[in-house]
Amino acid sequence: MKDKVINIIQEIEDIDEDISKIEGLITNGYLDSFGVLSLVAELENFFSVKLNGGSEVIKHLESVDSICKLVESSMEQSNG
Amino acid sequence: MKKFSNLGQKFIHIANQYSENIAIRFLDGTKVSYKELDDLSNKYVQYLKEVRIKKGDCISLSSEKRIESYALIASCWKTGITYSFFDRFSPIERLEKILNQCNSQKVIGSEEVKSLLSKDRSNMFLSYEDIKSSIAKFEAHPHKIECEFSGDEVAYVMFTSGSTGIPKGVAIKHSSLVNFTDWTQELYEFNADDVFSHLNPLYFDNSVFDLYSSLFIGASLVAFARDDLKDPGLLVEKVDEFKLSTWFSVPSMIIYLLNLGAISSTSFKYMKRIIFGGEGFPKNKLKELFELIGSRVQLVNVYGPTEGTCICSSYNITSNDFSSDQMNTLAPLGRDMLPIFDYYILDENNKEVEVGEIGELALGGEQLSIGYVGNEVETSRSFILDPIRTNGSNKVYKTGDLVSRASNELIYFAGRKDSQIKFMGHRVELGEIESALDSLCFINESCVVFGGKSDAKQIVAYVSTSFKPSEIKKSLKNLLPPYMIPRKIRVLEVLPKNANGKIDRKALMLELSNER
């Protein structure tokens, strides 16, 4: 999953750094609002899941690890 | 309703009437009353005179939501000086094209904007900080601010994408904007107690709606800066904290909030109306919004090209729209255009089509732009003599939008005649992106398409090159604003061709729709 998430982010916004190590993808300006929308759409599309977290969802999109956790918990919730 | 010749006269009248009302609020708590805004703009009037900027000249302002920007706008309303906003995050080459087109006498912005400009251009730069210290000597109430000029003076120039790679500057007259402030007040029953959202950047046509609707009735405008829009939860929180009663944005912004779960059935407590325009609102998402808050908030779909002074039609969404076949994929544009517009739906020979047939929307009337500044060719191409009432010299603007009028008089959007698209509400000529790609020496050929899922359409570039997508994107960032950079770049050995030997756009669209 981690590799796929990195690929998705890389495809949305070309980042010349090790994406897996970045904290603050949004707050540090790596992803703009177009990027955030695309990221949510791509994650939901690829993993066939509705991301949970409500209005707080954006706080879980700041790093690859937190995105993976969000996708996993969203998948568990939709399966459960 | 009292009639005013120009915006200056009307603004002074409103500022006197509602002097203590708050005109603009900022999220950090700063606020400015109508009296303060009027006084400050009077000082700017004197300053502009001192630096020899006069009626008919154009000043370019960096798109920053700060008190000084609004005071400068108001001083332009009072003097007949034209203003034009630019995006300071736009690449320098595009910025230069924009400044050249409108023949700016001065460029005004915060100090760091100066470093973006060429040496020649930086000589005409004025910083907000310098102006602030220069205006201290001026009186807030000089004896006479005349505002004696015709409504034909150009109030602002708004730039949109141009298919040849050169942005087009749409010039809008004072009289059109005075009319705009009159009809929006009447149609939506706006009053001085309303609190408007001000979400759109000032260089974007949609900002005209709330700026002009609000400041000419004594209402409040709540200015959201670029960074204030990043956190959807916080944004929705601020809407209630500032007791917003009128929201205006592109559907993309609302869909963004919906997709991120920020809007619930209890959101927008004080809201009376949510007005959206600039692009189509997909039915499924509109239904989601309607089901959440549609029973207590009026949802309104508006439509209009920049050339028609922001808006030319309006349609109130009701539950009928979802239970009948009134809405196929997008909400109707309106029941007719607004009365202030003349319009035709024309076939390829500029003859009116029958009811139910699809044709190009042509707009006429006093709300029309006078054309594109410094671009006679594009002006004469798009603004043509009225082809139906041929006995006068009236012009109509051919919008390029394909529409149809149903037997119930509702008008529906049916696509574009050309390759212009709307992305996040921004008007984008795919040709401008292709032109930027083709200007890169390492691109052999390119084709840009817009497609994907209906509520997540993307700009995708197909190119033939030996370079990597990341390298291409980097180069494009020097040529195009962020919203025009293709989200995806697909590299092919050669692009597919149709029977005529041209790049097969349809085949590429099909390829895109087949991608997962």
Q: What is the residue-averaged pLDDT of chain B?
A: 92
| B186, pLDDT greater than 80 | yes
Most confident of A40-54, B229-243, B291-305: B291-305
User: For an interface test with B, which of A11, A32, A33, A51 has the most B Cβ atoms less than 10 Å from its Cβ?
Assistant: A33
Give dist(CA B71, CA B142) in Å, integer. Answer: 16
Most confident of B132-141, B348-357, B481-490: B348-357
In this prediction, residue B194 has a pLDDT band, given cuts at 50, 70 and 90, of very high
Query: pLDDT at position B426, please?
Result: 86
CB proximity A38 to B under 8 Å:
yes
Number of neighbouring beta carbons within 10 Å of residue B408: 9
In this prediction, residue A35 has a pLDDT band, given cuts at 50, 70 and 90, of confident
Asked if B233 and A41 come within 8 Å (Cβ–Cβ), the reply is: no
CB proximity B458 to A under 8 Å:
yes
Query: pLDDT at position B348, please?
Result: 93
More confident position, B121 or B18: B18
Asked if A37 and B473 come within 8 Å (Cβ–Cβ), the reply is: no
Find the closest chain B residue to A47 by CA distance: B516
Query: pLDDT at position A53, please?
Result: 65
Q: Which of B230, B458, B482 sits opposite A38 (nearest CB)?
A: B458
Find the closest chain B residue to A62 by CA distance: B231
CB proximity A12 to B under 8 Å:
yes
Give dist(CA B16, CA B218) in Å, integer. Answer: 10
B48-95 pLDDT, tens digit per residue, is: 999 999 999 999 999 999 999 999 999 999 999 999 999 988 888 889
- β-sheet bridge partners, residue B509: none
CB proximity B231 to A under 8 Å:
yes
- ipTM, two decimals, is 0.71
Residue closest to B399 by CA, chosen among B414, B388, B377: B414
Instruction: List the single range of B17-21, B340-344, B347-351, B421-425 with lowest mean pLDDT.
Output: B421-425
| A16, pLDDT greater than 90 | no
- Domain positions in chain A: 2-79
Find the closest chain A residue to B253 by CA distance: A33
DSSP state for residue A13 in the 8-state scheme: S
Structure tokens at B388: 């139906």
B306-339 pLDDT, tens digit per residue, is: 999 999 999 999 998 988 777 778 889 998 899 9
| B453, pLDDT greater than 70 | no
More confident position, B397 or B255: B397
Give dist(CA B66, CA B85) in Å, integer. Answer: 13
**Residue A2, φ and ψ in degrees, nearest 5:** -60, -45
| A23, pLDDT greater than 80 | yes
Asked if A53 and B424 come within 8 Å (Cβ–Cβ), the reply is: no
Asked if A55 and B236 come within 8 Å (Cβ–Cβ), the reply is: yes
| B516, pLDDT greater than 60 | no
Query: pLDDT at position B465, please?
Result: 93
Find the closest chain B residue to A32 by CA distance: B230
CB proximity A55 to B under 8 Å:
yes
In this prediction, residue B284 has a pLDDT band, given cuts at 50, 70 and 90, of confident
Q: Give percent above pLDDT 70 in chain B.
A: 98
Query: pLDDT at position B513, please?
Result: 81
Q: Give residues 331 to 370 of B whose Cβ lies within 8 Å of A.
A: none
| A55, pLDDT greater than 70 | no
Contacts of B488 in chain A (CB under 8 A): 11
User: For an interface test with B, which of A26, A55, A56 has the most B Cβ atoms less than 10 Å from its Cβ?
Assistant: A55
Q: What is the residue-averaged pLDDT of chain A?
A: 85
Residues 6+ apart with CB under 8 A from B418: B163, B400, B429
Contacts of B252 in chain A (CB under 8 A): 37
> Under CATH, to which class is A2-79 assigned?
mainly alpha
- Domain positions in chain B: 1-173, 339-416, 420-514
Give dist(CA B409, CA B465) in Å, integer. Answer: 50
Give dist(CA B361, CA B382) in Å, integer. Answer: 12
Q: Give residues 59 to 78 of A whose Cβ lies within 8 Å of B.
A: none
Q: Which of A26, A41, A46 sits opposite B230 (nearest CB)?
A: A26
Determine the distance in angstroms separating the CA of B233 from the nearest CA of chain A, rounded to an integer: 5
In this prediction, residue A54 has a pLDDT band, given cuts at 50, 70 and 90, of low
Query: pLDDT at position B365, please?
Result: 94
Average pLDDT score over residue span B204-213:
96
Contacts of A74 in chain B (CB under 8 A): none
Determine the distance in angstroms separating the CA of A32 from the nearest CA of chain B, rounded to an integer: 8
Residues 6+ apart with CB under 8 A from B172: B154, B155, B156, B157, B158, B309, B369
Find the closest chain B residue to A56 by CA distance: B233
Give dist(CA B36, CA B40) in Å, integer. Answer: 6
B458-486 pLDDT, tens digit per residue, is: 899 999 999 988 889 889 988 998 889 99
CB proximity A56 to B under 8 Å:
yes
Contacts of B268 in chain A (CB under 8 A): none
Q: Which of A11, A46, A58 sits opposite B488 (nearest CB)?
A: A11
> Under CATH, to which class is B420-514 assigned?
alpha beta
More confident position, B73 or A35: B73
Contacts of A57 in chain B (CB under 8 A): 260-261
Contacts of A56 in chain B (CB under 8 A): 233
Which CATH number describes the domain made up of B1-173?
3.40.50.12780
CB proximity A3 to B under 8 Å:
no
Contacts of B260 in chain A (CB under 8 A): 36, 40, 55, 57-58
Residue environment code for B87-100, b if the CB has 16+ CB neighbours within 10 A, otherwise e: bbebbeebbbbbbe
Query: pLDDT at position B239, please?
Result: 96
Contacts of A14 in chain B (CB under 8 A): 469-470, 473-474
> Under CATH, to which class is B339-416 assigned?
mainly beta
CB proximity B236 to A under 8 Å:
yes
DSSP state for residue B484 in the 8-state scheme: G
Asked if A36 and B516 come within 8 Å (Cβ–Cβ), the reply is: no
Q: Which of B231, B264, B453 sits opposite A58 (nearest CB)?
A: B231
Give me the total of CB pairs closer than 8 Å, taking one residue from chain A and one from chain B: 57
User: For an interface test with B, which of A37, A38, A45 has the most B Cβ atoms less than 10 Å from its Cβ?
Assistant: A37
Find the closest chain B residue to A51 by CA distance: B260
Alpha helices in B112-192 (DSSP H): 119-122, 128-134, 174-188
Give dist(CA B330, CA B323) in Å, integer. Answer: 14
Q: Give residues 401 to 420 of B whose Cβ lies within 8 Å of A.
A: none
Residues 6+ apart with CB under 8 A from A21: none
Query: pLDDT at position B456, please?
Result: 67
